Every structure is written in structure tokens, then in C-alpha cells.
Amino acid sequence: MSASARLAEFVVKTSLRDCPDAAVAQVRRAALDTLGVMLAGAGEPVALSVRTVARAEGGAPLCTVFGTAHRTSPTWAALANGTAGHAHDFDDTNFALLGHPSVPLLAAALAAAEAEPADGAAVVLAYVIGFEVSTALGVALNPDHYTRGWHATSSIGTLGCAAAAASVLRLDPTQTRHALGVAASLASGLKENFGSMTKPFHAGHAARNGVFAALVAREGLTASDSALEGRQGYAAAFGQAPLAADAFDALGRRWQVLASGIAVKPYPSCALTHSAIDALLALRERHGLGAEEVAEVEVGVNQVVPDVLRHASPSNGLERKFSMQFCAASALATGRVDLGSFADGPITDAGTREVMDHVRMVVDPTLPQGLSEHAWTRVTVRLRDGRTLASPPRGASGHPDQPLTDAQLRDKFLACAAPVIGAGEAEGVAAQLTHLEDIPDIRALTARLVTARD
């Protein structure tokens, strides 16, 4: 059986009854977080650029562009919502994928479900299926795939989105196999674009291409049976080793949505900055530190980090999200790292500007090297009075081993959603998502995610 056929079998044969209750609970939490960041990102310039082209291109108004009054075709809606959801880099991550799973998957699944239409149970199942396909490929290809320069959110996530859309559209095994083969040719996304608008576009690109692959496969478009494992196939092009024969044997038995889990972001910056932010905020509070006291900050990181946090002297808000120097300095100098920290224009806080010049990021080979630990950091702060304050190696809040509470997650959603759709509607959506799988028509949810924004 080919790799595509094995994945297609999993997509078609898996039912919601097969999914553990804990996995369904994870999807509810992921949907709450993801819809919040999609709404918050709808007003960002990258989201506006995509919507402008979507309006010009046109499309059957079947699907909602969240946070706006615009309706468009499934592929354009998936692209628009996926891009908006990643605009602030505030969406969740997974360390088997080494990317962002939920925004692309939900953008794809919700667009397909509105177009069909389908119910909440179909969306929950599609998310789980897409997550498992994405992470299975992540386990097979990473970390080499990621360190070679591919942005796995898109380069791997496109296939997960195709699996999710195929599930919602109820493709048969042959159609699903072809959808995955088409998606393999559409997969792309380069880390060199981190710190630019193209980075959030990648999430929309994955969602759009996943929906597109499923739609054209349903209409008879074919792909090679060996598109994934062939000599010139996906794995050969995107990784150094061929797909192992047992690469997908754990599908449906070991659920990655529970095993590797979902890391929810408390800060709207690259996940690789978060453990350092946590450590520095804690040191600041514990010792009452001010920017004027700081002589040097040393952040020890995993060897994969410098190629991602590339902007030591960031010139705009997007680059600051990929700058350890800025994120560390903002945490120490202001005591916060939030959406307002990444506004475009000059850095207005004098303390942040001062501390940035004294932040050094160094590779620390003693840090844990596992995929789930590559975001760990070690932090040392040297003060002008000669004291040295240290935070030992640690992960970040929001990660599966120290998850946000339900209350914290809800607060994050309301902070993102209420300014867009209003506090009352945001409260209603949060309540509705506690029983996402019971919604009889997904449009009962998506109809609440609109505003007067063009």
C-alpha cells in the first residue's frame, strides 16, 4: 500500500467515535483560541491585502471571511481566514509538526463545512484527522525538513489541510489519495520569509491549497500513487531520508493531538521567544528590576533558534516577533509582551531600546535537544551593581506540560474577539464552542463571526 493510500485509508475510515474524548476536548480549546486570533488578525494589513484580491477575483459567496462582512468561495475564505489567523503570530504550535496546526486546519475545515454545508461534528473530526496526518508527516520528516528552511506550517500543513477538507467533503479513498497527491505538489513555504507578511500568508496558503486539492480530486483530478514516497516525490524533495515503511502505523492508535499536544501562545511572537519571556518577566517581578539596572542579558537557545530569530535589529513590528533581542528587552523593560508591543513604527519605549543593545543570544549545547524541547531557553541577567540573576533551562507557559487554564484561554479569546465582534457576541461564541461537536449546522457558528468591515 502506498503512503498516500495508507493516509487516505485513515482519513476515510476514521469516525468521531474513534477519537478519544480528550482529543475532542482539545479541539474545542483549539477552536476557541484559533477563532480569537483569526478575528484579531482580520484588521491587519496582510489580511486586507488578501481580501482585496479576493474581492477583485470574485467567487461564489458560500463562506464567511471572519471579522468582516465579506463572503466568498471556499478556497478564498480558507486563504483569507488562514492568513488573518497567523497575522499576529499568536496562534498555537505543535512540536512534532514544528509549525502551527490549528489556524490552517480550521480555516480549511470551516470553509469546506460552510460550502457543503456540514455540522460541528464534521469539523471536529476533520481537525483531528488533519492534525494526525500533519504530525505523522512531521515526525517522519523533522527536524531535517525544518532546518533545511521549510516552514512546516505550510510545507507539511498543506497535506493535513487536504486530509481535513477531504473528510468534510466525504471523499472516497481514491479521491482522498488523489487529493493528498495534489496537495504534495502544492506544498511550499520558506522560513526565509519569517518577519514579513508572507509568513502569515503561509497559513492561509496551506488552508487554501488543502481545500483546492480536495475539491479538484472530487471532480476527478488525479495524482501519482507514489506522490509521497516516490524517488522524486514529496519526502525525497522535502527531507533527506525516504518515508519509513512504518511511518504511519501509529495513526489511529497513538493520537498526536494528545501525545505531542498543542502549545497555546500567551504572547504574540515566535514561540521560540516564549520561555525567555516567561523567565525574564518572572525575574523582573521577583527582583523589582528596571531597565536602567541591566548590564547584560544572555539567552541560551537550541541550535535551531538563530536561523528563526534572525532579526537582532528589527525594523518593523513583524520583524520584532522574530527578534529575541526585542522580546527579551520588552519583557524586562516594560513587564509585558502583548499585541501593542508589536506596533509598527519606531520603538517608543526608551528602556526597551536601551536593553536591546545588551541582549545576547547564544547556542547552548547543554539544553535538551528533543523536538518538544527545542524552544527551551536558559537566561542570565547581569546587573550594573555586579549581581547575576539566572533562570535555569525551562520551557514556556502554554506548552502541553504547563497548559493555559480554561479561564486563561477564555480570557485570551475574549481579548482578541470582543474588540471585533463585541463583548456579548464574543461571550456567546465562547459558550457555543464548549459544545462545538453538537452544532447541527456550522453556519450557526460562522454567522456570528461577522462585522461591518469590508
Are the C-beta atoms of 118 and 137 separated by less than 8 Å? no
What's the rounded Cα separation, in Å, for the pair 30 and 434? 11
Q: Find out whether the peptide bond into 117 is cis, omega within 30 degrees of 0.
A: yes
What is the greatest pairwise CA distance in the chain?
Answer: 72
Count of alpha carbons within 13 angstroms of residue 80, beta-carbon side: 32
- CATH number, domain 271-394, options 3.40.50.720, 3.40.50.300, 3.30.1330.120, 3.20.20.140: 3.30.1330.120
Q: In this structure, are residues 167 and 122 in contact, taking their beta carbons and an 8 Å threshold?
A: yes
Neighbours of 450 (CB within 10 A): 18
- Residues 183, 210 contacting (CB under 8 angstroms): yes
Question: Do 326 and 312 contact (CB within 8 A), yes or no?
Answer: no
Cα→Cα distances 121→19, 227, 306, Å: 11, 30, 41
- Asked whether the beta carbons of 411 and 313 are under 8 A apart, the reply is no
The per-residue DSSP string of 85-135 comes to HHTTS-S-BBTTTTB--HHHHHHHHHHHHHHTT--HHHHHHHHHHHHHHHH
Q: Mind spelling out the 3-state secondary structure of 293-307?
A: HEEEEEEEECCCCCC
DSSP E strand boundaries for 370-443: 377-383, 388-394
395, 373 Cβ separation under 8 angstroms:
yes
- How far CA 313 is from CA of 236, 302, 318, 345, in Å, comes to 36, 20, 12, 13
The structural domains of the chain, with segments of one domain joined by +, span: 3-266+425-446, 271-394
pLDDT, one tens digit for every residue, the chain (454 residues): 899 999 999 999 999 999 999 999 999 999 999 999 999 999 999 999 999 999 999 999 999 999 999 999 999 999 999 999 999 999 999 999 999 999 999 999 999 999 999 999 999 999 999 999 999 999 999 999 999 999 999 999 999 999 999 999 999 999 999 999 999 999 999 999 999 999 999 999 999 999 999 999 999 999 999 999 999 999 999 988 788 878 999 999 999 999 999 999 999 999 999 999 999 999 999 999 999 999 999 999 999 999 999 999 999 999 999 999 999 999 999 999 999 999 988 999 999 999 999 999 999 999 998 877 889 999 999 999 999 999 999 999 999 999 999 999 999 999 999 999 999 999 999 999 999 999 999 999 999 999 998 8
- Name the class of domain 3-266+425-446: mainly alpha
User: Which residues lie below 8 Å from residue 288, measured CB to CB, with a gap of 6+?
Assistant: none
As a whole number of angstroms, the distance between CA 227 and CA 7 comes to: 12
For residue 66, give the amino acid letter: F
